[in-house]
Amino acid sequence: MSQLTDTQSEPDHRGLPIDRVGIRGLRYPVTIDGVPTVGTFAMTVDLPATQRGTHMSRFVEVLASCHHDLNEQSFLTMARTLRSRLNSTRSCVELAAPWFVEKLAPVSGGAAMLDYELHWLAEVNGRTAEFTQTVRIPVGTLCPCSKAISERGAHNQRGVVSVSLRRSKPVATAELIRLAEAAASSDLYSLLKRSDEKFITERAYDNPVFVEDLVRSIAEQVRSVPGLHWYRVEAENLESIHNHNAYAMIEGAGKSAKKRRPAG
């Protein structure tokens, strides 16, 4: 083996460091916070101006050795291991995956899994490491304007809420799901009997929300989380009166982040 040319380690003369180099679109079976699922990974490091190429196989070696039982700590460890294994200054690991919760129907109590989406990002820069967690939560939304102006009914639709945050300690995924579902006109279920359908229909009619209302209500809660550095809340409605979507987004620093800057 030692005789094979190491083209990647050749010097490069263009004088340009590379911000991110690595792999994308790698699907791997993982368990996230105890839930077995399939993740799609992107893993990158920076590359100094003097080196021509990175060593792509090491990214997969790091993943293959670290993918079991992912949680926020082991995910950050994966990114730190990547940085050290590639002799780089910065590293970045991204993971997108469906994630499941067993939900009980609100009246009949029937149980079935509902699918959410996680997007996790670990960024390591020297000795600092940062974890950004995102949960995408499908919800039902009923339009306040349609309800107010119509003599009967109100248009409603499926929507998706995304809650992202960076914090000293991550928030439990189940807690972010609870926040988002509580702010919607109704949450969604895989299994509903007629008694449940009646309950959800009336609950949605009694709790109309615009995408604007959704992101404000959730942002109000999220920004008060202790130790929060940054957050973003998005909502996108698959409008039932249009073939396009309605969208709203709020982002900012947490309230505690502001408190840390007395002169700001």
Q: Does 262 bind a second copy (CB under 8 A)?
A: no
Q: How far is the CB of 175 from a second copy (least distance, A)?
A: 20
Q: Does 155 bind a second copy (CB under 8 A)?
A: yes
Q: Does 33 bind a second copy (CB under 8 A)?
A: no
What residues from 69 to 88 belong to the interface with a second copy (CB under 8 A)?
none
Dihedral pair phi/psi, residue 226, rounded to 5°? -60, 140
Q: Does 260 bind a second copy (CB under 8 A)?
A: no
Q: Token digits for 182? A: 């509580």
The one-letter code for the residue type at 135 is V
Q: Does 128 bind a second copy (CB under 8 A)?
A: no
Show the site string, 186-225: x = touches a second copy by CB under 8 A, - = not: x-xxxxxxxx-xx-xxx-xxx---xxxx-xxx-xx-----
Segment interacting with a second copy, rule: CB under 8 A, options 119-127, 168-176, 246-254, 255-263: 246-254
What residues from 92 to 111 belong to the interface with a second copy (CB under 8 A)?
98, 100, 108, 110-111
Among 76, 133, 138, 180, binds a second copy (CB under 8 A): 138
Rounded to an integer, what distance in angstroms lies between the CA atom of residue 75 and that of residue 68? 10
Q: How far is the CB of 148 from a second copy (least distance, A)?
A: 4
Rounded to an integer, what distance in angstroms lies between the CA atom of residue 223 and that of residue 251? 9
Segment interacting with a second copy, rule: CB under 8 A, options 69-77, 78-86, 122-130, 236-244: 236-244
Question: How far, CA to CA in Å, does 146 sit from each of 114, 142, 210, 244, 248?
Answer: 28, 8, 10, 17, 18
What long-range pairs does 195-203 form, CB within 8 A, spacing at least 24? 195/107, 195/108, 196/105, 196/106, 196/107, 196/108, 196/110, 198/107, 199/106, 199/107, 200/106, 200/140
Task: Please report the beta strands in 71-185, taking only residues with DSSP state E, as ranges in sequence order.
Answer: 90-104, 111-125, 128-142, 156-167
Q: Does 1 bind a second copy (CB under 8 A)?
A: yes
Among 240, 255, 258, 260, binds a second copy (CB under 8 A): 240
Residues pairing with 171 in the sheet: none
Among 33, 53, 71, 229, binds a second copy (CB under 8 A): 53
Q: How far is the CB of 259 from a second copy (least distance, A)?
A: 17
Rounded to an integer, what distance in angstroms lies between the CA atom of residue 25 and that of residue 261? 39
Q: Does 62 bind a second copy (CB under 8 A)?
A: no
Dihedral pair phi/psi, residue 74, rounded to 5°? -70, -25
Q: Does 11 bind a second copy (CB under 8 A)?
A: no
What residues from 168 to 187 belong to the interface with a second copy (CB under 8 A)?
186
With respect to a second copy, which residue has the nearer C-beta, 130 or 210? 210
Helix (H, G, I), strand (E, B) or coil at 223: coil
With respect to a second copy, which residue has the nearer C-beta, 169 or 202? 202
